[in-house]
Amino acid sequence: MSSSSNLDGSPPRPRTAVRLAYLVSHPIQYQAPLLRRIAAEPGIELTVFFGSDFSVKGYRDEGFGVDVTWDIPLLDGYRHEFLPVLRDKGTEGVFTPISHGLVTRLTNADGSARFDALWVHGYATVNQMHGLLAAKALGIPVLVRSDSSLRDRPRGGAKLLAKKAFFAGLRSLVAGVLVTGTMNREYWQHYMGEDFPLFLLPYAVDNAWWQARCHEAAATRSELQTELGLDPKRPVILFASKMQTRKHCDDLIEAYARLAPAPGTEPEPYLVLVGDGEERAALEAQAAATGLSSIRFCGFRNQSELPRFFDLADVFVLPSRHEPWGLIVNEIMNAACPVIITDDCGCHPDLVTDGVEGFVYPVRDIDALEQALRLTFATPQTATEMGQRALERIENWSFEQDIVGLKQALQHVARKRLAGVDAATSSGDQA
């Protein structure tokens, strides 16, 4: 077990600070910057409890199909503790990791609750249910956050009835939900009811970090172009994600091939594919069958390397099915890059208006994807103008909105006054 640590160097919290515990399966690269931001916020005293440390030690990401060790700090800047492990298979699932000792950590020596609220990431694993039941027994209000949507995989009648029964029970354990965006809000309203307290905690990334790194990447753009054998005068279409079936990079390759003005002629843009996974060999075979020499496979690239590819791109495409959100879209919008995504990407209602910051097309509609690509390159200015609007939009979907939403949720469930939250929101500013 790792000992608790508080590395952010922040001053002592006021006595009136809300004591917030956060239970999550393992350190997640997307979450670490947000946890640091919350820990630095006056009025919130955050302690994070992890069920496993597999992502810190390095692990095999089944989606990418490679061994991954993240090259960004996952644990700096916030108080955290790893719970003792009963079962840990080095991945996240219903029955892994399974930890113990949470009850004692949520309880003071006199048996009273140590925290004013518990935030649980998800609701469907053994560890998550343990947290929900432990908090209920101690009288600690619970906030839940997940990225589910009603466009998840369809379920039959029996499973749907079971799910509704499950949510009826979940409602009695949860005091409020932190919703990530529009489609996630619809999901929770459907299962928990229109009257259930919902608070918008936008699915955001560290905008300032991504903007700074993308700006810095411009200085080495020519080096990456040389490495990939790219003519600087030609535009670049970028895909950067796991090469899984549901990501449908095959649709993008087919749509790209259709951009060729005539047989034996290359499309004007390059297609740069970043990532790895179970479908890579099939995608390479598909690309070879096109006979085009303008497709580049770049393999898995770690977080710190991605800004160089974002800087290179004239448009980014995420052709996924069953994409709960798509945080890669947030990231590349910080590079002032337009995006083309499917209507199955959870972020689309909140981040992309069709024809404004990019395009939204029906999932698996390759004709529509081809048309979106053609429209993006309709004029030399089109992609640039859409990219600027993408940057402007993502700047208003940030950690600062997360802090506002979290404070409103805590004020509602913990019944405590937080600095920076207007009294009018004390009953919950629902999403």
| Helix H or strand E segment including 61 | strand 59-61
CA distance 383 to 387: 6
Of 27, 326, 316, 26, nearest in space to 149 by CA: 326
Domain coordinates of the chain in residue numbers? 18-204+398-425, 207-394
Longest dimension (CA), the chain: 78
Task: Say which DSSP state 107 is in.
Answer: B
Tokens of 378: 């309709």
Of 360, 226, 332, nearest in space to 274 by CA: 332
Whether 18-204+398-425 and 207-394 share one fold: the answer is yes
Of 250, 411, 426, 215, nearest in space to 321 by CA: 250
Quote the pLDDT of residue 428. Answer: 43
List of E strands, 160-307? 176-179, 198-200, 236-240, 270-274, 295-297
Of 280, 283, 281, 289, nearest in space to 250 by CA: 283
Quote the pLDDT of residue 264. Answer: 87
Of 211, 139, 129, nearest in space to 170 by CA: 129
Quote the pLDDT of residue 422. Answer: 53
Each of the 431 residues of the chain gets a pLDDT tens digit; together they read 344 444 455 555 545 789 999 999 999 998 999 999 999 999 999 999 999 999 888 756 666 666 767 678 899 999 999 999 999 998 899 999 999 999 999 999 999 999 999 999 999 999 999 999 999 999 999 999 999 998 866 666 788 788 888 999 999 999 999 999 999 999 999 999 999 999 999 999 999 999 999 999 999 999 999 999 999 999 999 999 999 999 999 999 999 999 999 988 999 999 999 999 999 999 999 999 999 999 999 999 988 899 999 999 999 999 999 999 999 999 999 999 999 999 999 999 999 999 999 999 999 999 999 999 999 999 989 999 999 999 999 999 999 999 999 999 999 998 866 766 654 443 344 55
Q: What class is the 207-394 domain?
A: alpha beta
- For 381, list phi and psi in degrees, rounded to 5: -90, -20
Q: Domain 18-204+398-425 sits in which CATH superfamily?
A: Glycogen Phosphorylase B; (3.40.50.2000)
Residue type, 255: A
